[in-house]
Amino acid sequence: MKLQRGVFLVVFCLLFCCAFSQKKKVAVVTFYANKMVGIEELGIGSEELLKNVLDLRNNPNFNLAPILEQYHSKFFNEYAKSFPFDLLPESAVVDSEKYQKFEARFEKNKYDANNYLNYGKYRNIYEGFLGKTNEEGMAKLFANEADGVLFVSIDFGFEKGFGIGKTMSIKMRAFTRIVLYNKKGEKVWAINESERSKKTGVMVGGIPVINPEKILPMCESSLTELMGDLQKRIDKIVSKSNAKL
């Protein structure tokens, strides 16, 4: 009886260790915010509006770093706990020479270099854009350390609110895209979620009032709303991970 019990315990321990050791690992390879606030939803294509958005992007007071920090903290400290895989330590990714020297296709060029705010040492490596060169390249780059790679980004865009004619309120919508690829560079799943801000701005004469003091609180409000709902979406979709990793 004691022998049987001992054998059972040994088998149980082996199975437990085996299951634990088989937990997949994933490398987060992008984490950034887009500083170019989208204007598509306003249905306006004036040169003045585009100039105002570019001026906002280049204004040092339009500092999205604290907002990006909030999202990064939420992602790694809370959302990551729902994943059925472990994330590689960030330093193992961003501090590696191979990552920093990777020749990414369509990486930010001189024209749009100011559009993106990367978190820490992350690079802005395009995903889901004209082929899978970057996705397959990143997956191959970390094939020895990880079973997949994760791309994370956030964007912001204006939305019309209420009003008459060319005078109305506007809101901000925050978008996030979280995409997992396996070792072959095949998409496992993608999370595309957005939420609008509770804070509002104003559009006068058909042109939004765009300055950091008005826009930053709207961006933060929209991201706060998004982060509040994102956990539910993550819980629903991550169950597909292990089957394709």
Residue range 127-141: average pLDDT?
Answer: 88
Reported residue count of the chain is: 245
Rounded to 5 degrees, φ, ψ at 68 are -65, -35
Q: What is the pLDDT of residues 159-207, one digit of tens each?
A: 988 877 677 899 999 999 999 999 999 999 999 999 999 999 988 877 8
pTM higher than 0.75: yes
The reported pLDDT for the residue numbered 241 is 67
Distance CA 51, CA 172 (A): 18
The reported pLDDT for the residue numbered 18 is 42
Residue 21 pLDDT greater than 70, yes or no: no
Q: What is the pLDDT of residues 28-66, one digit of tens each?
A: 999 999 999 999 888 766 788 889 999 999 999 999 999
Looking at residue 207, its amino acid is: I
